[in-house]
Structure formats: C-alpha cells, structure tokens
Amino acid sequence: MGSPSSLSLVLLFVLLVSLGVAVQHCHGGETSSFVRKVEKSIDMPLDSDVFRVPAGYNAPQQVHITQGDLNGRAVIVSWVTQDEPGSSEVLYGTSEKKLKFSTKGKVTHYTYYNYTSGFIHHCTLRNLKHDTKYYYKIGIGYTTRQFSFTTPPKVGPDVPYTFGLIGDLGQTYDSNQTLTHYEKNPVKGQTVLFVGDLCYADTYPNHNNVRWDTWGRFVERCTAYQPWIWTTGNHEIDFAPEIGETVPFKPFTHRYHVPYRASGSTAPFWYSIKRASAHIIVLASYSAYGKYTPQYNWLEAEFPKVNRTETPWLIVLMHSPWYNSYNYHYMEGESMRVMYEPWFVKYKVDVVFAGHVHAYERSERVSNVAYNIVNGLCMPVPDPSAPVYITIGDGGNIEGLANNMTQPQPKYSAYREASFGHATFDIKNKTHAYYAWHRNQDGYAVEADKMWFFNRFWNAKDEQSHSS
C-alpha cells in the first residue's frame, strides 16, 4: 500500500475522472452558431444627431415618462430645462388641439463633482382613463413641445399587452441600432421593461454627467411616447468618494422618478406595478437585500399580494442574473438567489428578466432551492414552478459584448448568444404569451430566439417542445 500522500493523489485522480465523465454528460441547450463580427463598441460623439438639443430658448429636453401609480391610471412626466427653471406645468388632454387639463409638478437639480445639472421637472398626471391616447405639452411660457402616450387597458386577467425588453443600453452606435430595431419591430411594444444600466456616464473621468444629458436626449424619441419601467444597475450607483461623491444613485434618483410608494416600498430601487394582465416586481441588485433589510421585508409582504386571478402574469426585473453561463460577473447574483429563489418558486413567477452580462441567454425552468451549505445538493434541477430566467444585457453599451461562455453549456441553459439586441414579451391572454429575441444584425421581423410561455398559474404545462 502506498504512502498516505500517494493514496490521496490516487483518490483525487479518480474523483476528477468521475467528475469529468459527469461534466461531459452535462450538456445543455443550444449555443447559437451565429458569430457577430468583432468590433469595438464606441460611444457616439457629442455632436451626433441623436444628441441634438431641441431648438428654442429653454426648450424641454430629455423627456421621459413612466407609470405613476400602481394600476396604470397615472403617468410621471419628466424633462429638463437648461437655461432656467421655467414652468413645471403640463397641459394634457385627449384632443391634440385642445388640452383641457393641467397640473403642476416640481423641479429639482443637483451637483456632481464639477458638474451642475439643468432643471429637472417631474409632474404626475393622475386619474387618467384606461386605454386612451393622451397628448401633453410642456415648456409652458417658453418654448413648448408636445408629445403623446396611450394608457394601458384596465387591469384584468385576459388583457393582451406587449412589453419591450432592453438592458444595458448605453449610447454607442450599437445602442442606436438596438433602439431603432425596437422601434421598427413589427410587434409593437407598448411599454419598455428596462433592466438597468442606462447611460454609462461612470465610465468617463469623474463620472462625466454630461453623458446623462446626452443619453436622455438620445432615448427621448421613445421614452417621451411610451413608459419605460426603470430598474437600477451597477452603472447607476455613481458612488465615488475619491471625488467627494458619497451619495449612491444621486444622478439616477434626481432624474428618474418611479411610483415606489404606491406599492408600499420605502425606496425607489424596488417596487411593483400592475399593467394590463401583468404584475411586475422590480428588485435592486445593488441595494441591501439580506434578511430583515427593507427590500427583503417589502418583497416578503409583496408576493402574497399578487392576485393571479386579476394579474395572471408575474414578471420580475433585476439587474444581476441568477443563472448565467458566461464567464462574466460569475456568481454575482448568487447571494440574492439563495435569499429569494424559494419565494420565486412558491409564488410561481413566470419569467425573470435581468441584464448585467452583455449578451443574451434564456434558461430552462430550473430551481436550486434544495441547496444549503451542508447537504451538498447544489445543482439546478428542472422545476415546473420555477421561472424562466432571461439575460437581456445586450443593449450595446461601450463595454462591449460578453463573448466568453462556460463550456460545456450547462443543462439549465436553453439558448445563448453573444450579440446585441432586444426582446418582446407579447401577452395574448391569461394562459399564453409569446416571447421573441431580435438580434441587431437581422431584419426587423426576424426572431433569433422565441418561446411560447404557458402561464404558471393558469396553464402550468411544459413549454420545452414549443421553444426554438
């Protein structure tokens, strides 16, 4: 018999061989054969057309809207005036020529290192009619600009509605292509679910906040006309004590208001809304989420409030993915997964959308709730009560694509591809929704990945054979 050290080596070798055999059989779904041309992501220059300042003295710019209450009968209108505060009044109505309602909002501004913002206006339009087109005018008393939006249908179980999905957008040439593809997709998204990382100003020296302004003007062509539901990502933290900036999320919280109080949240980083037949929960990967924290307590109370007979579709947005087979941001979402995944399974979440990893991936329905530090059960297993996890951090930002994947593809991964793009989630009724992902290189109607979703509460069948 050999020495203890020799025996240990033999045992280790046997273990590695047996693991190797197991790994070889642990193949997953499809890794796309499409290979995007390798190009560096470059931010569009400051004099680009998409960043143009609107003409006229003190003209409103960076106009964006989001849902302003729990049920979709209010809209928060936000914009910036650069020269002086001007008016925070919004004129609005259902006739383009006759805006018979008005309401006044509030104005704020902030400084960040050597930058001073323009005057940021937020005004909430309340008691709107469902499923109605409204026109609104801002810049009253100075240079006025007029836009429009359509309110969602009344909340109900069989209400069809189409969401767009965009994440990690930035302001590169690829970002512009992503937004254009979303706008020209024949499946018209009515509201964007945005999973975090907006402008990437923090990639510039001293977090150059001018890039918050350019991004706001860039996306205005969409954000002024349909709500974007905001999720915070790591590039919104803007915590930079080395230049004296010690308040996290300062630019984001001044510029982007959300209706967090309507769902009982105590902070704008986690909240929920109901829209058409969906209950949407927004979580914060970069705010405290451990046991007894405000976010934990809020989510624990929120899930039991979800009424699947009223809003059958339960959608969760977050920034850092829990299931990720790319060699980027490895395990970053793991502690939140361990905390919250049992709730996701218990309450049968239909789908989770995340960003952070600059690529695309769709999972099977799996869970890993059996895991604890002593039982050794640490492999995801098929679970019909679990959500599908979709990473859509492929908007096109300056940091470029994540194209280094783990090999072999794990079993939980159904489809993955390192390309920029966007997706749509088209709810048909309480039992079915059609999901499609579109890469930027294709024609506007081409679906690079697709899946019929069967609702976990009303139609909890296996969808695998219906996926791409």
For 389-437, what is each residue's pLDDT tens digit?
999 999 999 999 998 999 999 999 999 999 999 999 999 999 999 999 9
What's residue 155's pLDDT?
A: 98
Catalytic residue set? 329
Q: Give residue 294's pLDDT band: very low, low, confident or very high (50, 70, 90).
A: very high
Distances (CA, A) of 111 to 51, 69, 114, 162, 256: 21, 29, 7, 38, 16
Q: Is 76 helix (H, G, I), strand (E, B) or coil?
A: strand
Given pLDDT bands bounded at 50, 70 and 90, which one contains residue 13?
very low
Characterize 10-38 residue by residue with b for buried, 16 or more Cβ atoms within 10 angstroms of its Cβ, and e for exposed: eeeeeeeeeeeeeeeeeebbebeeeebee
The per-residue pLDDT for 34 is 72
User: Nearest 5 degrees, angle CA 445-CA 451-CA 455?
Assistant: 130
Instruction: Say how far apart CA 223 and CA 63 lie, in whole Å.
Output: 7
* pLDDT (mean) for 39-56: 94
Q: How far apart are the first and last CA of the chain?
A: 55
Residue 106 has pLDDT above 70, yes or no: yes
Residue-wise pLDDT for 159-177, tens only, equals: 999 999 999 999 999 999 9
Asked whether 447 and 438 are in contact (CB, 8 A), the reply is: yes
Alpha carbon of 183 to those of 192, 193, 219, 225, 296: distances in Å?
11, 14, 11, 11, 36
Under a CB-based contact definition with an 8 Å cutoff, are residues 227 and 236 in contact? Answer: no
pLDDT at 11: 39
Contact at 8 Å (CB) between 351 and 315?
A: yes
- Percent of the chain scored above 90 by pLDDT? 87
Average pLDDT value for residue range 371-398: 91
Omega before 408 within 30 of 0, i.e. cis = yes
Mean of pLDDT over the chain: 92
Taking a C-beta distance cutoff of 8 angstroms, is the pair 65, 223 a contact? yes
**Whether the predicted pLDDT of 73 surpasses 70:** yes
State what percent of residues in the chain have pLDDT above 70.
Answer: 92
CB contact at 8 A, 395 and 167 = yes
Higher per-residue confidence, 466 vs 322: 322
- 80 contacts 59 by C-beta, under 8 angstroms: no
Task: Give me the pLDDT at residue 8, please.
Answer: 44
Q: How large is the average pLDDT for residues 98-115?
A: 98
CA distance 58 to 144: 9
Mean pLDDT of 288-310: 98
52-72 pLDDT tens trace: 999 999 999 999 999 999 999
For residues 238 and 112, the answer to whether their CB atoms sit within 8 Å is yes
DSSP result, 271-298: EEEEETTEEEEE--TTS--STTSHHHHH
List, for residues 424-454, the tens digit of each pLDDT value: 999 999 999 999 999 999 999 999 999 999 9
Which has more pLDDT, 15 or 119?
119
pLDDT digits (tens, 9 = 90+) for 175-215: 999 999 999 999 999 999 999 999 999 999 999 999 999 99
Q: What tokens appear for 186 in the block?
A: 């024949």
Q: Please report the pLDDT score of residue 223 as a whole number.
A: 98
| pLDDT tens per residue across span 268-285 | 999 999 999 999 999 999
CA atoms within 13 A on the CB side of 228: 26
Pairing of strands 161-166, 191-194: parallel
Tell me the pTM: 0.92
Confidence of residue 38 (pLDDT cuts 50, 70, 90): low
Are 398 and 170 contacting, i.e. CB atoms less than 8 angstroms apart? yes
Gap between the Cα atoms of 14 and 281, Å rounded: 47
CB 276 within 8 A of CB 161: yes
- Total Cβ atoms within 10 A of residue 112: 22
Q: Can you count the helices (H) and strands (E) in the chain?
A: 6, 26
- Return the axis-axis angle of helices 294-302 and 334-346, rounded to nearest 10°: 20
- Are the C-beta atoms of residues 391 and 462 closer than 8 Å to each other? no
Closest CA to 179 of 217, 141, 129: 217
Q: What is the pLDDT of residues 16-28, one digit of tens each?
A: 333 333 333 344 6
Polymer length in residues for the chain: 468
Q: Which amino acid is at 183?
A: E
pLDDT of residue 28: 63
- Report the Cα 138 to chain-centroid distance in Å: 27
217-242 tens-digit pLDDT: 999 999 999 999 999 999 999 999 99
pLDDT, position 33:
73
Is the torsion defined by CA of 294, 273, 123, 426 positive or negative?
positive
Residue among 438, 344, 337 nearest 395 (CA): 438
303: pLDDT strictly greater than 80: yes
